Amino acid sequence: MSLLVVGSVALDCIETPVARKEDVLGGSAVCFSYAAGFFVPVQLVGVVGGDWPEEHTKMLESHGIDMSGLEIQKGGKTFRWSGKYLENMNDRVTLETQLNVLADFQPKLPEAFRRAQFVFLANGSTKTQLQVLEQSHGADLVVADTMNFWIESERDSLLGLLKKIDGLLLNDSEAKMLSGELNVLTAARKILELGPKFVIVKKGEHGAIFVSQYDIYVIPAFPTDNVVDPTGAGDSFAGGMMGYIASQGKADGETIKKAIVYGTIVASFQVEGFGIDRLRQLTRDDIEQRLEKFRKMVEF
């Protein structure tokens, strides 16, 4: 049931049409872990600098996240990302990406992390994702996420990674960029030919589509009228999904289908606050209640 994640641990600067916040706790590994922590304990691998507030580590530990794989480089600065959302609160522009300590991060997995049954390679350098895979042995399921930044800068390593993973998560524009195809389904099928057994394309407020050689599932997003900050929606979707899979200890088609529903519900909470603020107010029960509402919405 062990779930390992490697990814960015960040201090974000987020601008929406109504507010601007600096030093928001973020990063793909943080949003993923917090979401997955509602289902199972999580092992986090990442790196931060001397500017990292120690209280973040304690808070994450109190949510069942094992932080012993977080390297602190005292002389460096934590990864920083700043982004601005447009009026529609769906499209965003990256204003700045400061890789800082993430630039030449060489992950070293603590011994206890090496045999994790479920592994998630959250958005981050493909080279780092590959280094984690080299140290991890016998995982039942390996799923990776990526984004345009890495598709452009590390395309060759990404093509190598695709041959070693079971599933790939990415958003629609990234799927098109990686495959060169304009239709989402054609893009997903082309990515399947590059290695993974399944691809999940996230379409923001329009939900997600799962594509494998045998199945296609589509799922709408849970509609919320309280979108405060969409940052980390994709990571928390992945966290809810992988957390549920790990809690079941298996990754058959039916389990993955239900896991995608959990991912959708957790992501709908994530967007209702800055960073992980909204998730921090939740209990597992809140997730179950929203899932029941969602079930009534999509049944036909």
Q: Which residues in this chain contact ligand AMP in the complex, by CB under 6 A?
A: 8, 10, 12, 26-28, 81, 97, 123-124, 147, 149, 231-235
Q: How far is the CB of 230 from ligand AMP (least distance, A)?
A: 6
Q: How many residues does the chain have?
A: 300
DSSP 8-state assignment for residue 221: P
Residue number closest to ligand AMP, CB atom? 26
Residue (81 or 244) nearer to ligand AMP, CB: 81
Q: Where are the beta strands (DSSP E) in the chain?
A: 3-6, 10-15, 20-26, 42-49, 65-73, 79-85, 92-98, 118-121, 141-145, 167-171, 198-202, 208-212, 216-219
d(CA 179, CA 286): 38
Residue (79 or 113) nearer to ligand AMP, CB: 79
Residue (98 or 248) nearer to ligand AMP, CB: 98
Token pair of 58 as six digits? 């304690």
Q: How far is the CB of 124 from ligand AMP (least distance, A)?
A: 4
Residue (93 or 297) nearer to ligand AMP, CB: 93
d(CA 201, CA 293): 24
Residue (38 or 150) nearer to ligand AMP, CB: 150
Contact by Cβ (8 Å): 78, 49: yes
Q: How far is the CB of 63 from ligand AMP (least distance, A)?
A: 17
Q: How far is the CB of 97 from ligand AMP (least distance, A)?
A: 5
Q: What is the dihedral of CA 155, 157, 159, 164, to 10 degrees?
A: -150
Q: How far is the CB of 202 from ligand AMP (least distance, A)?
A: 8
Q: How far is the CB of 182 from ligand AMP (least distance, A)?
A: 21
Residue (157 or 248) nearer to ligand AMP, CB: 157
- Residue 50: helix, strand or coil by DSSP? coil
Token pair of 23 as six digits? 């030093």
What are the phi and psi torsion angles at 115 (to 5°)?
-110, 25
Residue (196 or 204) nearer to ligand AMP, CB: 204
Q: How far is the CB of 102 from ligand AMP (least distance, A)?
A: 7
In whole angstroms, how far apart are CA 212 and each of 113, 148, 189, 264? 29, 22, 8, 19
Contact by Cβ (8 Å): 139, 113: no
